[in-house]
Amino acid sequence: MYLFDTHAHPHLCTDTPLNALVDRAKAAGLVGMMSVAIDLDSARDAIQQSEHYPGFIWPTAGIHPTSVADDDQITELEAIIQAHDVYAIGECGLDFYRDTNPSAGLQTDYFRAQLDIAKRYDLPVIIHARHADAELVPILLDYPDVPKVIHCFSSPWSVVEALLDTATWFSFTGIVTYTQYDPEVVERLPLHRMMIETDCPYLTPLSHRGTANEPAFVSAICSQIAAIKSLTPETVAAATTQTAIDFFKLPTAVPAT
Ligand SMILES: [Zn+2]
């Protein structure tokens, strides 16, 4: 079984050294993971990690909506993209969960600027959206052909429906293992539009509750999605891994079974 974690934050997994995270991920059947940036520093970290684990850790560069500020991080972001191989822009998006978050105007400016960069450099986008469905959908409809994945997707089916005709994928975390999870979206969404992710160190799957999340635990999310969709974990693993490799245009192939 070959698994891929499309959304990990190794630089935030401070409980565990990176080599242990990678060893345990490989032992759990992972063939790779995206190291997802939340700001310029973590983008540089992700690039460094990918140099230590070539072909396994793939870096992204982007500015999370809670990392935006009244300065010009976009120029530097573009410089990073020009100087290094990165495989996605992100995570970027909108987060209106806390009143203390940056203003909607600033978040929107940064989000659109990053979608524009993705379009210009032919890169896919990893999107973070929290309490922002109403604002998110019209922005994404302005970029129908830019490949994008909404990470930690936990919005209702109506949001999927609004975006199904655009180049949008939906990625699921350990939230699908929680007892209060409503499985409707996972049931209805075609497998080929799905990806799986840990978002580690956050959102530990139920089966590993009490420990920090890590890429190895993506297998628990795979199993839960398989159970909801009445498929085998092998089928879900093979499909979501291939989708991730194609989406991020990774110069790698899934090892033959
Ligand atoms: Zn994240």
Res 257 pLDDT > 50: no
What domains can you pick out in the chain, each with its CATH number?
A: 3-247 (3.20.20.140)
**By the 8 A CB rule, do 198 and 214 touch?**
yes
Residue 113 above 90 pLDDT?
yes
Question: Rounded to an integer, what distance in angstroms lies between the CA atom of residue 234 and that of residue 239?
Answer: 9
Please tell me the distance between residue 151's alpha carbon and the centre of ligand 1 in angstroms: 7
Ligand 1 geometric centre to CA of 250 (Å): 20
**Quick one: pLDDT at residue 232?**
98
User: What pLDDT was estimated at residue 70?
Assistant: 87
From the CA of 91, how far away is ligand 1's center (Å)? 7
- Span 115-141, mean pLDDT? 97
List beta partners, residue 30: 3
pLDDT at 253: 67
Element (H, E) at 105: helix 104-121
Q: Distance between CA 47 and CA 60 in Å, rounded? A: 8
Q: How far is the CA of 64 from the centre of ligand 1 (A)?
A: 8
Rounded to the nearest angstrom, the distance between the alpha carbon of 256 and the centre of ligand 1 is 30
Report CA(126)–ligand 1 centroid distance (Å).
9
> 225-252: per-residue pLDDT in tens?
999 999 999 999 999 999 999 999 999 7
Please give the average per-residue pLDDT across 12-23, as a whole number: 94
* Distance of alpha carbon 216 from alpha carbon 1, whole angstroms: 13
Q: What is the pLDDT confidence band of residue 255, given thresholds at 50, 70 and 90?
A: low
pLDDT, position 1: 84
Residue 84 φ/ψ region, left for φ over 0, alpha for ψ in the -120 to 50 degree band, beta for the rest: beta
DSSP code string of 181-248: --THHHHHS-GGGEEE---BTSS--GGGTTS---GGGHHHHHHHHHHHHT--HHHHHHHHHHHHHHHT
| Cα-to-centroid distance, 30 and ligand 1 (Å) | 19
Answer whether the bond into residue 255 is a cis peptide, omega within 30°: no
What is the spatial distance between Cα 170 and Cα 160, in angstroms, rounded to a whole number? 8
- Poorest-pLDDT segment among 38-47, 176-185, 247-256: 247-256
Q: What is the pLDDT of residues 71-92, one digit of tens each?
A: 889 999 999 999 999 999 999 9
- As a whole number of angstroms, the distance between CA 132 and CA 129 comes to 6
Q: What is the pLDDT of residue 32?
A: 96
89 CA distance to ligand 1 centroid (A)?
12
Q: Which tens digit of pLDDT belongs to each residue from 187-207?
A: 999 999 999 999 999 999 999
pTM summary value: 0.96
